[in-house]
Structure 1
Amino acid sequence: MSTVIRRVRTEEWEQVKEIRLAALQDPAASIAFLDTYENAAAKPDGFWQERTVGAAEGDTVHQLVAEAADGRWLGTMTVLVERPGGDGALGGDVITVPQAHIVGVYVRPEARGTGLAHELIRAAQECSWSLAEPRIQRVRLFVHESNARAEAMYLRAGFRRSGVSVPVPGDETHREIELAVERG
């Protein structure tokens, strides 16, 4: 499967919306994303346009897509830049070093098992390490404690459990486990 991994472009807001809605309809969405299809589908076009501009041009958000030769988007993930002193994306953790936080990981079912997720992760890490300001010291992500399939994939990609876990927002009975890789 021939794909190009690249950053989204500002005019691609409809594709950004479509792949996000597809991700939120995935059977694992309830433990993989902190959003629902119904909530995202109700957002006006202006929300998606603004979100895409930030992900395409911003300094703190970089959305990557895996684009097939025919133009279809087969997967996506987003890199959030986190600076020391800020609050983490999930409640309860404080940022102590410049780091990147991978969120919104999704690979379409027909592209799963092809190595595309690893290619996206590698691209997200390269994007993170290449940032000049701040100089990223670690890349992290959170995985739901019940999402063993995703955790195994991240561990194969070189991430390790950091020892940090936080409650799932809105669900105090479950935890999100932090996985991280340090700058080598």
Structure 2
Amino acid sequence: MDCRVERIGPGDWERMREVRLAQLLDTPMAFMETYETALGHGEDEWRSRVARVSAEGSAGFAAVAPDGRWVGTMISFTPEPKAAVLVGVWTDPAYRGRQLGVTDALLDAILDWARAEAGAERLLLRVHEHNPRATAFYRRRGFDLTGLDEPYELDPASRLLEMALPLS
């Protein structure tokens, strides 16, 4: 892997904005907002997002290409004791694939954080029912469907499927 993984910090709001817009253009179904909505957010919103990612009980990681661009992200937070939730998952198409290892490296960073810092016993996520690439990645890494699902906010006819990975 020619990228490094680093923790997202409070000063990263411009890179967070840039990668979020790229995420929404690439895989709009994977996120809970539209490109147009994200494009309209001002600096205060982006600063607020990186502050939340940097807060106690949260962690965000970015895969950084040799030229300094973020080419992947994963974010996790702990909404309840002993459980962490994975959100904000994306890898630039040019950096996808098991042989490159970018997505695996990001998930490894999240898992290390969830176990060591968050004390989580399981990692949860929701994946769009029409995102087989993501579902296959999570299955390969040991996640299983829990049987729970919910409507996708931007298209209630679609479902978000819950997956879980035990961490103990």
Name the TM-score, length of structure 1 as normaliser: 0.84
1-structure distance, mates of 2:60, 2:113: 10
Q: Is 1:36 aligned with 2:34? A: yes
1:177 CA displacement: 0.7
Residue from 106, 113, 127 that aligns with 1:120: 106
Structure 1: any 5+ residue segments left out of the alignment?
A: 85-97
2:64 maps to 1:67: yes
**Equivalence for 1:82:** 79
Of 115, 122, 143 in structure 2, the residue corresponding to residue 129 of structure 1 is 115
Deviations, residues 9-52 of structure 1 (Å, cap 9, x unaligned): 211110111001110111x31x2111111001101111111211
Amino acid at match of 2:4: V
Does residue 1:4 correspond to 2:4, yes or no?
yes
Which SS does the other structure have where 1:158 is aligned?
coil
Query: For 1:15 and 1:7, how far apart are their aligned partners in 2?
Result: 12
- Are 2:33 and 2:154, in contact at CA under 8 Å, matched by a contact in 1? no
**Shift in Å at residue 156 of structure 1?**
0.8
State the SS of the aligned residue for 1:11.
coil
C-alpha deviation, 1:115, in angstroms:
2.0
Aligned residues: 166
| Counterpart code for 2:15 | Q
Runs (4 or more) in structure 1 with deviation over 4 Å come to none
Distance of 1:183 and 1:9 partners within structure 2: 25
Superposition CA RMSD, Å: 1.4
Deviations 1:87-146 (A, max 9, x none): xxxxxxxxxxx21111111111110112211111111111111125xx211001111111
Name the residue aligned to 2:46: 48
- Aligned partners of 1:154 and 1:63: how far apart in 2? 18
Amino acid at match of 1:167: P
Looking at structure 2, the residues matched to 54 and 140 of structure 1 have their Cα atoms a distance apart, in angstroms, of 18
Q: Distance in 2 between matches of 1:109 and 1:164?
A: 29
Gaps of 5+ in 2: none
